[in-house]
Amino acid sequence: MKIGILTSGGDCPGLNAVIRGAVLKGDKIYGHQFVGFRWGWRGVVEGDFIDLPRHRVRGLSKEGGTILGSSRTNPYEGERGGPENIQRMLDENGIDAIIAIGGEGTLTAARRLADEGLHIVGVPKTIDNDLEATDYSFGFDTAVGIATEAIDRLRTTAESHQRCMVVEVMGRYVGWIALHAGMAGGAHAILIPEQPQSIEQICDWVQQVRDRGRAPVVCVSEGFRLTTMDEAYSHKGLDAFNRPLLGGIAEIIAPMIEERTGIESRATVIGHVQRGGAPSAFDRVLATRLGLAAVDAVDAGQWGTMVSLRGTEVIDVSITDATRRLNTVPPHRYEEAKLLFG
Ligand code: F6P
């Protein structure tokens, strides 16, 4: 078999480890050949790919980013997009199947294409951890580690100046990164999309910390909204899947805290640092296992499925199940963290 691999959507640490795992098992156990599509779905639509022999994936599990490049191209758009065109390109190049490594947008497109008869298996990837049907996605652990380190560092400068620090992390419409990094870093308030809060409540938590002589640290998820807001804050337009690009809520909240409490406040948006650099050991292992399992799924012709982590086991699930709704933070997990606020 000749298998094409693509990495699409926002990159995340661990993508290269999936590619390596898939190529090593495919080569060693099944004798499959591999090609890598350049720039996500764009490479599929344009027939742009490179050979991926075994020696090309040597030492890759520790490398951040993706050797194939990524983009947020929608495979249904453009003159050469859509299932018929893509199938023709695959046939012309003798490519039998695609392993699509991506997040919600990528996997939704993969599911649609698989429903149209294309041979596609998915691998979940996202620092946001927002996909149903997988307990964790690789990239999340690394992002939490980076955000936690940022909080630790901001805490020392906050204490020196007796300032309030509002630290914004990524996560789109789910608060997993904020919840975990906030708990790990000992934030005095964690603000997540699933749990809108009033500015009065936030200031109350901040003031309690100041009254104890401490410098308050607030960890806010980019998708958080105040109770007075109808939607998450977005000022950067839409991505290729027509989803708002989020970011900047910390810059809104910090001055509001300062104005209401009189405590000097600063906003820090960690941004893409959370997606860069080497994956954590946990993410390297998870990503490698998913790559190994993806090749098994291809070999078994499990089209339209996605490999996923359940407990400690890697299993196949339907992409439909994984993309039906977001994996949000359950209320009891927030209540647990809330005991530590203020
Ligand atoms: O989905 C991953 C993610 O990093 C989100 O947390 C964030 O909102 C978005 O991608 C940023 O997208 P971009 O890389 O296009 O700025």
Q: What is the pLDDT of residues 267-279, one digit of tens each?
A: 999 999 999 999 9
For the cut 80, the answer to whether the pLDDT of residue 241 exceeds it is no
DSSP string covering 103-151, please? -HHHHHHHHHHHHTT--EEEEEB-TT--BTT-S--BTHHHHHHHHHHHH
Long-range pairs for 234-239: beta carbons < 8 A, 24 or more residues apart: 239/72, 239/105
Q: How confident is the model at residue 91 (pLDDT cuts 50, 70, 90)?
A: very high
Nearest CA to ligand 1 atom 8: 172
Contact 262, 162 (CB under 8 A): no
* Per-residue CA distances from 164 to 28, 148, 199, 268, 316 (Å): 55, 17, 14, 11, 45
Nearest CA to ligand 1 atom 14: 10
CATH of 2-138+279-323 given 3.90.940.20, 2.40.50.100, 3.40.50.300, 3.40.50.450 = 3.40.50.450
Domain locations in the chain?
Answer: 2-138+279-323, 142-275
How far does the centroid of ligand 1 lie from the alpha carbon of residue 309, in Å?
22
Nearest CA to ligand 1 atom 15: 10
Closest CA to 2 of 45, 32, 46, 42: 32
Among 127, 144, 146, 326, the mutation site with the greatest number of ligand 1 atoms within 8 A of its Cβ is 127
For the cut 80, the answer to whether the pLDDT of residue 45 exceeds it is yes
Length of the chain: 342
d(CA 248, CA 252): 7
Neighbour-count burial of 152, counting CB atoms closer than 10 A to its CB (0-12 exposed, 13-18 middle, 19+ buried): middle
* Per-residue CA distances from 302 to 112, 120, 164, 180, 315 (Å): 15, 8, 51, 34, 12
Give the pLDDT of residue 243: 86
Average pLDDT, the chain: 96
The pTM of the full predicted model, rounded to 2 decimals, is 0.96
Give the pLDDT of residue 185: 98
Q: What is the pLDDT of residues 311-323, one digit of tens each?
A: 999 999 999 988 8
Give the pLDDT of residue 215: 98
Lookup: tokens for 15: 């993508």
Question: Catalytic residue at 128?
Answer: yes
Lookup: tokens for 211: 């009254």
Q: What is the pLDDT of residues 185-233, one digit of tens each?
A: 999 999 999 999 999 999 999 999 999 999 999 999 999 999 999 999 9
Q: How confident is the model at residue 1 (pLDDT cuts 50, 70, 90)?
A: very high
Out of 128, 130, 141, 283, pick the active-site residue.
Answer: 128
Give the pLDDT of residue 322: 87
Q: Examine domains 2-138+279-323 and 142-275 and report if their fold is the same.
A: yes
Specify the CATH architecture of the domain 142-275.
3-Layer(aba) Sandwich (3.40)
Give the pLDDT of residue 235: 92
For the cut 80, the answer to whether the pLDDT of residue 240 exceeds it is no
Closest CA to 16 of 342, 327, 278, 316: 278
How far does the centroid of ligand 1 lie from the alpha carbon of residue 54, in Å?
31
Percent of residues, the chain, with pLDDT higher than 90: 94
Sign of the C-alpha dihedral computed for residues 311, 317, 320 and 323 taken in this order? positive
Q: What is the pLDDT of residues 146-192, one digit of tens each?
A: 999 999 999 999 999 999 999 999 999 999 999 999 999 999 999 99
Nearest CA to ligand 1 atom 16: 245
Give the pLDDT of residue 167: 98
- What residues are in contact with ligand 1 under a 6 Å CB criterion? 10, 103, 126-128, 170-172, 222, 239, 245-246, 275
How far does the centroid of ligand 1 lie from the alpha carbon of residue 121, in Å?
23
Give the pLDDT of residue 242: 83
Give the pLDDT of residue 72: 87
Among 12, 108, 128, the mutation site with the greatest number of ligand 1 atoms within 8 A of its Cβ is 128
